[in-house]
Amino acid sequence: MLSKNQLGFLYMFLSVCAFSLMDLIIKWTADYPLGQVVFFRGFFWDSILFFCNT
């Protein structure tokens, strides 16, 4: 079992990796309009948050 400090570090590390991966994907797909990228990025993360909190 992880302590609260270890669990906090794990969550912080995973969030940094996820945001870095998201930035990389957005830069690779530079052909899409900004509004479309922002919409799908928000939709993707909101769906993850929704399913993690249920």
Give the start-to-end residue ranges of the domains of the chain: 4-52
Distance CA 36, CA 53 (A): 26
Whole-model pTM: value is 0.59
Dist CA 54 CA 49 (whole Å): 9
Are 24 and 37 in contact by the 8 Å Cβ rule? The answer is no
Q: What pLDDT does residue 47 have?
A: 79
Q: Which amino acid is at 43?
A: F
4-54, pLDDT tens digit by residue? 999 899 989 988 998 888 888 878 877 888 888 888 888 877 877 787 765
Residue 16 to residue 20: CA distance in whole angstroms: 6
Confidence (pLDDT) at 54 = 58
How many angstroms separate the CA atoms of 30 and 36, rounded? 11
